[in-house]
């Protein structure tokens, strides 16, 4: 995982954020272009960190894996780029390019869904079928429960990490480690602690875009 994260970081960045859609919101029998076309305003996956929810409007690099979506033929609609793609990977890649222009993106689509049979916890909505697809209305309870689900997972080097890392730095600075006797008896020196805080602050600054609230990034930095 460390080497994989390294492949998505550059320009002094060392951290990636994890995102997921569990389950991936899809109607049974829908094609991938039709599913993604329903999420043109915002991507249907969320940040997994406990940090406050933020809309991710850009990123520097990402790797996205989608599994469990059947390769149904797309609805014919001339002039829509997603419907003109020849493979599911191209569909997902085009979608990523549309939402994150200039970012380095890799996309993989696997047909095998995620198995959610026992002992996987059954915390799913009654609006899911046994295969994890969305239903128009809640189904009656079934002893089998949800047996599998389509899932999307992503790792992103994203400006959202600036807020997360700078917030962590502020939380650490607000605490007085001298009050924790075990902190320094474990071998941590005060100077080392302060140096680590400075490195964390510098790392958070690597995720600033410097282009204001729109979060756009210099394309040369994303190549």
Residues 7-24 pLDDT 10s: 888 888 989 999 999 999
Residues 61, 27, 123, 143, CA torsion sign: negative
What tokens were used for 195?
């140096």
pLDDT in tens, the chain (223 residues): 888 888 888 888 989 999 999 999 999 888 899 899 889 888 999 988 776 666 677 889 999 999 998 665 555 555 577 877 888 899 999 999 999 998 999 999 999 999 999 899 989 988 899 999 998 877 666 556 899 999 999 999 988 899 889 988 888 888 766 666 676 676 667 788 888 889 999 999 999 875 433 344 443 344 4
Please report the pLDDT score of residue 145 as a whole number.
Answer: 85
Please report the pLDDT score of residue 30 as a whole number.
Answer: 86
Contacts of the segment 170-174: beta carbons below 8 A, 24+ positions apart: 172/197, 172/200, 173/197
Q: Angle, nearest 10°, between helix axes 190-205 and 160-173?
A: 160
Cis bond before residue 159 (omega within 30° of 0): no
CA distance 23 to 216: 29
CA distances from residue 161 to 103, 158, 182 in whole angstroms, order as listed: 16, 6, 30
Please report the pLDDT score of residue 218 as a whole number.
Answer: 41
Q: What percentage of the chain carries pLDDT values higher than 90? A: 39
Please report the pLDDT score of residue 201 as a whole number.
Answer: 92
Please report the pLDDT score of residue 212 as a whole number.
Answer: 36
Q: What percentage of the chain carries pLDDT values higher than 70? A: 78
- DSSP secondary structure letters along the chain: -HHHHHTT--TT----EEEEESS---BTT--HHHHHHTTSSS-S-EE-SSSPP------SEEEEEEES---PPPPP-TT-GGGG-SSHHHHHHHHHHHHSTT-EEEEEEESS-EE--TTS-----TTB-TTS-B-SSPPPP-SS---EE-EEEEEEE-THHHHHHHHHHHHHHTS-GGG-HHHHHTT--HHHHHHHHHHHHHHHHTT--SSGGG----HHHH-
Please report the pLDDT score of residue 108 as a whole number.
Answer: 94
pTM higher than 0.85: no
Specify the residue for token string 């020196």.
189
| Residues 190-210 pLDDT 10s | 788 888 889 999 999 999 875
């Amino acid at each position: 995982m460390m080497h994989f994260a390294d492949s998505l970081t550059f320009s002094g960045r060392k951290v990636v954020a994890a995102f997921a859609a569990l389950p991936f919101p899809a109607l049974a029998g829908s094609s991938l272009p039709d599913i993604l076309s329903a999420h043109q305003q915002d991507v249907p996956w969320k940040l997994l960190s406990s940090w406050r929810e933020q809309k991710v409007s850009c990123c520097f690099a990402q790797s996205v894996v989608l599994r469990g979506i059947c390769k149904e033929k797309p609805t014919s609609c001339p002039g829509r780029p997603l419907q003109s793609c020849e493979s599911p990977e191209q569909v997902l890649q085009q979608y990523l390019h549309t939402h994150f222009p200039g970012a380095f993106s890799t996309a993989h689509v696997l047909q095998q869904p995620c198995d959610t049979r026992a002992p996987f916890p059954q915390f799913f909505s009654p609006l899911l079928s046994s295969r994890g697809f969305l239903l128009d209305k809640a189904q009656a309870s079934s002893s089998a429960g949800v047996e599998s689900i389509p899932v999307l997972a992503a790792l992103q080097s994203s400006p959202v990490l600036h807020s997360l890392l700078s917030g962590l730095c502020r939380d650490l600075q607000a605490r007085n480690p001298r009050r924790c006797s075990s902190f320094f008896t474990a071998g941590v020196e005060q100077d080392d602690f302060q140096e680590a805080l400075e490195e964390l602050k510098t790392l958070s600054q690597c995720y600033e875009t410097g282009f204001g609230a729109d979060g756009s990034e210099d394309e040369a930095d994303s190549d």
